[in-house]
Amino acid sequence: MSETYASTAGSYEHSDTALAERTPVGWGFWLWWVLASAVGFTVAAAADNAVSEALDFVVYGVPVGVTQWLVLRRQVSRAGWWILATIAGFVGGQSLRLVLDDVVSDSVAVGELLGMAVALAVFGAITGGALVWLLRHPAPRGGEVTEA
């Protein structure tokens, strides 16, 4: 499947393989991504114990976003946006989870499961959309691009 788009910078062709060809990432990238995610979540969990519930969403978003940014900055330009997208994903998802927990109070288990499912879906939608957008802006060869 291939489509041609026009933009102010000219026209370009978009196909299912075009994104993969522009942003080649191998196993090394994915291994670093998983490691960065594990480190970020570990730091977040440790910090979570020391901070009030009001800041939990940001406490998780910052270390996870920063550690993943360390991997992304070599692959994409504008990688700094990833940190904000991660924080937005946590804030949006967890805020809806809290609302659903309060609304669906008849069954604690159902409310918690529904809330967690919605939180993960919102987090995935926000960060997934951001990652797709970022991967469409690969970093130039030969150096890091870290500007937001």
pLDDT one-digit tens code per residue, 21-65? 556 678 888 899 999 999 888 877 766 655 555 477 778 889 999
Q: Which residues contact 16 (CB under 8 A, 6 or more apart)?
A: 1
- pLDDT tens for 86-139 read 999 988 888 787 777 766 766 667 777 888 888 899 999 999 999 999 999 888
Instruction: Report the alpha-carbon distance of residue 106 to residue 112 in Å, rounded.
Output: 11
- Residue 130, in any domain of the structure: yes
Task: Choose between 47 and 73: higher pLDDT.
Answer: 73
Residue 13 and residue 4 in contact, taking contact as beta carbons nearer than 8 Å: yes
Mean pLDDT, residues 8-13 taken together: 48
Structure tokens belonging to residue 51? 């901070």
**Would you give the DSSP letter of residue 53?**
G
State how far the Cα of 134 lies from the Cα of 126, in Å rounded to an integer. Answer: 12
Considering the domain boundaries, does residue 148 fall inside one? Answer: no
Residue 38 placed within a domain? yes
Which residues share a beta bridge with 138?
Answer: 76
**110 found inside a domain:** yes
Domain span at 68: 25-135
Q: Is residue 8 part of a domain?
A: no
pTM for this one? 0.62
Q: Does 6 have pLDDT greater than 50? A: no
> Measured between alpha carbons, how far is 119 from 126 in angstroms, rounded to an integer?
11
C-alpha triplet 76, 78, 84: angle, nearest 5°: 115
Is residue 40 a part of any domain in this protein?
Answer: yes
Number of domains in the chain: 1
Judge whether 113 lies within some domain.
Answer: yes
pLDDT of 143 reads: 54
145 falls within a domain:
no
d(CA 84, CA 36): 16
